[in-house]
Structure 1
Amino acid sequence: MYNIEKLKYYLQNVLEISSPTGYTQDLTDYIMEELHILDVPCKTTNKGGLIITLNGEDTSSERTISAHIDTLGAMVKEIKLTGTIAITPVGGYMMNSIEGENCTIATLDGKNYSGTIQTIKPSVHIYDDARDLKRTAENMEVIIDEKVSTKEDVEKLGINIGDFICFDPRTHFTESGFIKSRHLDDKASVAIILYTIKYLTENNITLPYTTNFYLSNYEEVGHGAAAAIPVNTKEFLSIDMGAPGTGQNSSEFSVCICAKDSSGPYDYSFRKNLIDICKNNDISYKIDTYPHYGSDASAALRAGYDIKTALIGTGVFASHGYERTHIDGMTATLDLLIKYCQSN
């Protein structure tokens, strides 16, 4: 029914393009090019997000569906006298989750330099307390892959305070259907939305309501969809992720429907409608709550929008670390989204 290879194609491409919060233009350009291929127009918000509108029969009660293109990352906080770089995080993650990771430093003049994130005491052969060192931002640094040993050496490369540090995604598709990568939050959802737009337009599907797809670019820092939501929006569906783990009901093999997160309960009737769509179409789903979680829908509600909200997404294991999901969960999320777009 769906072209899963095309879905994976979109996912591979968006994962390869670095887009930490505040540095998303390259990914925006790619998405706009894919929309151009589909002959689907879009507009850019002042903050740099994208809104794609598919007209429906009812234009007075619109639906808006969001995913966020921004990811976790870091910035240069300080260039140290030794020629290493101190970091300040962009988004919330555990410091131990980036230890030993390769990264790219993107300078203002367009140069890129590779490096590795290490602790300030990276070798057990040298430091007695290497294992016990607290993994905090202050104890992490980037070792640049250039012949530098002083602050001046680094500055001569054009690296400066505020330059973005992009984590390598390390994307891997397994034969058993698993997808392992950084930034599946929320690029799995971006790929799903791209495929949904392709499917709806190429099959000339008439939608009951005008439907907007909002690709926000500041979700990881809390204000992604806090502005620019189309004025006639009555339902706002955030496509993000489920969070499997101890005590949770979420699964990498299903679409996860969030009943409540740190911002409170999502709309009861909206959630029930999504569950009914899953039941009526044999879509594998899980209902869950997330105590340490917020979404574009949360930001929209805090901004004062009078909308009904819901949150769904494929289950993503080890969120905000080196993440994993399964193509079954992505397909279930895709199926629910496409069926929702066509529902009355």
Structure 2
Amino acid sequence: MTQLPIDTDYLREQLRALLLIPSPSGMTDDVVRYVCGELDKMDIRYELTRRGAIRAIIPGRHESPRRAIAAHLDTLGAMVKGIKRDGRLRVVPIGHWNARFAEGARVKIHCDNGQIYQGTILPLKASGHTYNTEVDAQPSSWDNLEIRIDEPANQIEQLWSMGVRVGDFVSVDSNPEFTEKGFINGRHLDDKAGVASMLAAAKALRDAGEEPELDCHLLFTISEEVGVGASHILHGDVAEMVSIDNGTIAPEQNTCEYGVTIAMQDSSGPFDRHLTQHLIGVCKRDEIEFSRDVFKFYRSDAASALEAGNDIRTALICFALDASHGWERSHIRSLVSVADLLVGYMRSKPLFAEHENVIGSDEEYPLIHDTERLRSS
């Protein structure tokens, strides 16, 4: 089977556009509208869930069993916890990320009246010229951070008149940078790089005029960073789901920096062995650079889908990511490898042939015959 080409320029353009759209968990309408626009351009049907997640479908040669691919649109962010009398803002995180990566972040405060103000997250003691070594001694914690807003406001009354309120969403600027050597730096590559890869895979199929082997749902979730993920988005007729997320580059990890990484297990437990082996087989067949890894402190859309009671097989494929939930870096080769695997997966034959059940062939595991024999006896 000849591989379909991935439009690398399109992938890169989509990632840049996605990174420039603020979308912390709970404030994802704008990025959802953007992705819906891209699906419209590719003539891919979709619907929105009540909460605003996207459930698209690419019809295949066979309707059942249906497949699903999931990536999340939401990112880490913050929220205004309090308004201080000196015009600074207290802040708490949205999602799970360390306060040390928030220090120095450029942010936007999104007010209920439609106003958007820029600012910077800073430690309470931010000037060495004033505090000397106390700057180094202060703890790294969210209680030790505040937002300095870029407005001529140094009193609580001024902030109030501007429309700043407790509970305003705070988005963290991505500040993306694409280098000539293919590296991509910025915040929120988790998981907008996965979304861009999924859109590029869908485009490759559409450009080639091909149908996937089975009906395939493209799921864009909106609350993975707060643990909800794909819990509410699946139809009952989906038999297997492949999540896309980041693979961490770090000592003791086996993530493939310039290819795709297939996760064998994360903190929620092992992924489905049959589906995982199927994906490994696609990588070997299509000569896609890959590795296998295990993540101890990590979960994805797949875990929330299973915890919600869905009877599905799940797997996780990853693009390489250094410094996850901080100043992140990936490489375009890794994102293209993810897209290649997604295309190969959608074009692949069903996981089991018609004469096989969930743990093997009827001849090898004659469960139905055994049940009938027990009843007759």
Q: TM-score, normalised by structure 2?
A: 0.90
Q: Does 2:228 match 1:223?
A: yes
Paired letter, 1:248 = Q
Given that 1:243 and 1:251 are in contact with CA atoms closer than 8 Å, whether structure 2 keeps it comes out as no
**How far apart are the structure 2 equivalents of 1:85 and 1:242?**
34
**How far apart are the structure 1 equivalents of 2:336 and 2:212?**
21
Paired letter, 1:113 = Y
Shift of 1:123: 0.9
**How far apart are the structure 2 equivalents of 1:216 and 1:106?**
22
Q: Does 2:332 match 1:339?
A: no
**How far apart are the structure 1 equivalents of 2:141 and 2:334?**
33
Shift of 1:257: 0.6
Match of residue 120 from structure 1: 124
Shift of 1:66: 0.2
Paired letter, 1:72 = L
Structure with larger Rg: 2
Q: Does 2:54 match 1:60?
A: no
CA distances 1:187-226 after superposition (whole Å, capped 9, x unpaired): 0011111112222123211221100000000000001111
Shift of 1:98: 1.4
Q: Structure 2 matches for 1:38-187, cutoff 5 A?
A: 38-127=42-131, 128-187=133-192
Q: Structure 2 matches for 1:261-272, cutoff 5 A?
A: 261-272=266-277
CA distances 1:219-267 after superposition (whole Å, capped 9, x unpaired): 0000111112022111110011111101000032110110011100000
Given that 2:219 and 2:233 are in contact with CA atoms closer than 8 Å, whether structure 1 keeps it comes out as no
Higher deviation after alignment, 164-173 or 197-206: 197-206
**How far apart are the structure 1 equivalents of 2:94 and 2:140?**
16
Given that 1:82 and 1:149 are in contact with CA atoms closer than 8 Å, whether structure 2 keeps it comes out as yes
**How far apart are the structure 2 equivalents of 1:228 and 1:247?**
34
Q: TM-score, normalised by structure 1?
A: 0.98
Match of residue 251 from structure 1: 256
Q: Taking every aligned residue pair, what percent have the same amino acid on both sides? A: 38
Q: Which runs of 4+ in 1 moved over 3 A?
A: none
Task: Give the one of 15, 18, 22 matched to 1:14.
Answer: 18
Given that 1:64 and 1:230 are in contact with CA atoms closer than 8 Å, whether structure 2 keeps it comes out as no
Given that 1:266 and 1:310 are in contact with CA atoms closer than 8 Å, whether structure 2 keeps it comes out as yes
Shift of 1:94: 1.1
Shift of 1:2: 2.1
CA distances 1:149-178 after superposition (whole Å, capped 9, x unpaired): 111111111111111111110100111110
Paired letter, 1:78 = G
Match of residue 189 from structure 1: 194
Match of residue 281 from structure 1: 286
**How far apart are the structure 1 equivalents of 2:281 and 2:85?**
61
What is the SS of the residue equivalent to 1:47?
A: coil
Given that 2:6 and 2:339 are in contact with CA atoms closer than 8 Å, whether structure 1 keeps it comes out as no
Match of residue 321 from structure 1: 326
Paired letter, 1:88 = V
**How far apart are the structure 2 equivalents of 1:200 and 1:302?**
32
**How far apart are the structure 2 equivalents of 1:183 and 1:90?**
13
Higher deviation after alignment, 69-78 or 276-285: 276-285
Paired letter, 2:27 = Y
Given that 2:6 and 2:201 are in contact with CA atoms closer than 8 Å, whether structure 1 keeps it comes out as no
Given that 1:254 and 1:332 are in contact with CA atoms closer than 8 Å, whether structure 2 keeps it comes out as yes
**How far apart are the structure 2 equivalents of 1:227 and 1:29?**
19
Paired letter, 1:14 = L
RMSD: 0.9
Q: Does 2:8 match 1:4?
A: yes
What is the SS of the residue equivalent to 1:142?
A: strand
Q: What is the number of residues matched between the two proteins? A: 344
What is the SS of the residue equivalent to 1:59?
A: strand
**How far apart are the structure 2 equivalents of 1:291 and 1:134?**
26
**How far apart are the structure 2 equivalents of 1:59 and 1:42?**
16
**How far apart are the structure 1 equivalents of 2:254 and 2:37?**
38
